[in-house]
């Protein structure tokens, strides 16, 4: 029987790499524009300083004007570039931030770091009861079950709860649930409906393209298993 290649994770896909490249490009663009703005600000500030001194301002005002103008123009450019990056972030994560703002769960995290995993899970469960809309404690419980306890069914149950009960649950949670079904539980059939929804809802985004491609591979694998 022909050996089938494993499904790729989103981070290994061209779309996932594209998100990383986009972030790097944004950083480089911001640096380039900061340098240009700084140089332009120095020139403008120098001209302003000459004018101010000529009209009676102290010499130190003229000397500081280039640096003050450079700082001002760089600050304006960074604000503009940063706003563009935030807009790009909403494009790549159309259903919410990939890393949602979350509360501090230092107590639960400390328990997890100490290896007291069941206590950590209990602490995160209490956090869910207090604020069911926050996705973070759901995801932490799911990841503890998946990565540290190897209890994949429980992990899947908590990922599903996050998607069902939390508000603004990040796209990352859906990707993690898909990869749990496919790579850990070896049950790609369970991933197919989720991939179909992602491909439909996130059409035109890197995540949507990834989901569509993975859905094709899952269907091909399922057909091959039926024919075997």
Please tell me the predicted confidence (pLDDT) of residue 157: 98
Tell me the pLDDT of the chain averaged across its residues: 79
Please tell me the predicted confidence (pLDDT) of residue 227: 87
Picking from 109, 103, 155, the residue whose alpha carbon sits closest to that of residue 132 is 103
pLDDT in tens, 72-85: 776 776 666 555 44
pLDDT in tens, 5-34: 455 555 454 444 444 444 444 455 656 666
Helix axis angle, 171-179 relative to 152-165, nearest 10°?
A: 150
CA dihedral 90, 92, 94, 95 (to 10 degrees): -100
Picking from 205, 211, 172, 212, the residue whose alpha carbon sits closest to that of residue 94 is 205
Q: What is the CA radius of gyration of the chain?
A: 25
Decide if pLDDT at 206 tops 80. yes
pLDDT in tens, 121-149: 999 999 999 999 999 999 999 999 999 99
Terminus-to-terminus CA distance in the chain, angstroms? 8
Q: Indicate the pLDDT class of residue 105, thresholds 50, 70 and 90.
A: confident
Alpha carbons 226 and 228: distance in angstroms, whole number: 6
Decide if pLDDT at 65 tops 80. no
Q: Indicate the pLDDT class of residue 226, thresholds 50, 70 and 90.
A: confident
Please tell me the predicted confidence (pLDDT) of residue 101: 46
The torsion region of residue 115 among left (phi > 0), alpha (psi -120 to 50) and beta comes to left
Whether 69 and 45 have beta carbons less than 8 Å apart is answered as yes
Residue for token pair 């000397």: 63
Question: How many beta carbons lie within 10 A of that of residue 44, not counting itself?
Answer: 16
């Amino acid at each position: 029987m022909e050996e089938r290649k494993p499904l790729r994770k989103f981070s290994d896909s061209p779309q996932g790499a594209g998100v990383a490249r986009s972030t790097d490009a944004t950083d480089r663009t911001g640096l380039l524009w900061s340098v240009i703005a700084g140089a332009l600000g120095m020139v403008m500030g120098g001209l302003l300083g000459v004018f101010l001194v000529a009209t009676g301002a102290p010499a130190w005002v003229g000397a500081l004007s280039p640096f003050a103008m450079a700082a001002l123009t760089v600050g304006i450019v960074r604000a503009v570039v940063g706003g563009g990056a935030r807009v790009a972030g909403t494009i790549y994560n159309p259903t919410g931030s990939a890393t949602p703002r979350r509360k501090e769960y230092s107590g639960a995290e400390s328990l997890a770091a100490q290896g007291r995993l069941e206590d950590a899970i209990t602490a995160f469960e209490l956090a869910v009861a207090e604020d069911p809309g926050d996705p973070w404690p759901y995801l932490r419980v799911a990841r503890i079950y998946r990565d540290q306890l190897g209890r994949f069914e429980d992990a899947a149950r908590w990922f599903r709860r996050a998607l069902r009960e939390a508000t603004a649950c990040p796209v990352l949670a859906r990707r993690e649930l898909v990869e749990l079904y496919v790579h850990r539980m070896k049950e790609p059939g369970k991933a197919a409906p989720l991939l179909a929804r992602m491909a439909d809802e996130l059409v035109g985004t890197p995540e949507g393209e990834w989901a569509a491609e993975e859905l094709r591979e899952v269907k091909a694998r399922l057909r091959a298993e039926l024919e075997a």
